[in-house]
Amino acid sequence: MIAIVNYDTGNIRSVTNALARVGCTDWVYTDDKAILAQADKVILPGVGEASTAMAKLAERGLDTFIPTLTHPVLGICVGTQLMCQSSEEGNAQCMGIFRTKVRKFQPHQPSEEQLSIEKIPHMGWNQITDLRTPLFKDINDGAYIYYVHSYYPELCTDTIATSHYINGFSGALGRDNFFGTQFHPEKSGAIGAQIIKNFLEL
């Protein structure tokens, strides 16, 4: 059984639709610690603002509980950021699972050669490279996945996939039984479906 963490954020329907596409219909949407502890896998989705999302986790005592889980946990987008040490978005102190901080993209200043600055948020298809861990089984280096974000996890020793927009950043993170994708696998077509399938098979 897959437990999707309920903390009043995240695009739950897109996540459950993505699970269904890979044949998984045994899931529950919950903030019950006992259910989260007994689940085979846990998904921490996220859409929204980091400090507000952390407050929602703290209200339920999940900010200190989630790091104690010993079975596979997958964060998606803001869910991944909440598993980092801190975020510049709302000056949030996060769960500290991944040994990195979340920064806001800072566009380069325009020059004569570059007439416009990069757009924020970073939205659309981009590549992931330097892939590590079984989360990326059968995924080619340089595969395209889908991003929608203004903040990013810095590169660190927990980086298991790298992307580049304005600067290099962690497209995905992994440490022990915890994984996180800054991109949206549920919006990333066949590549995203394979990544979700790989997570379910961990």
Q: Annotated catalytic sites, by residue? A: 77, 184, 186
Q: How far is CA 113 from CA 13, 106, 108, 109, 110, in A?
A: 43, 18, 12, 11, 8
Burial of 168 (0-12, 13-18, 19+ CB in 10 A): middle
Please spell the DSSP secondary structure of 99-161, one letter per residue.
S-EEEE--PPPP-SS--SPPPSSEEEEEEEBS--SGGGTT--TTEEEEEEESEEEPP-TTEEE
**Whether 53 contacts 82, CB under 8 Å:** yes
**Whether 181 contacts 126, CB under 8 Å:** no
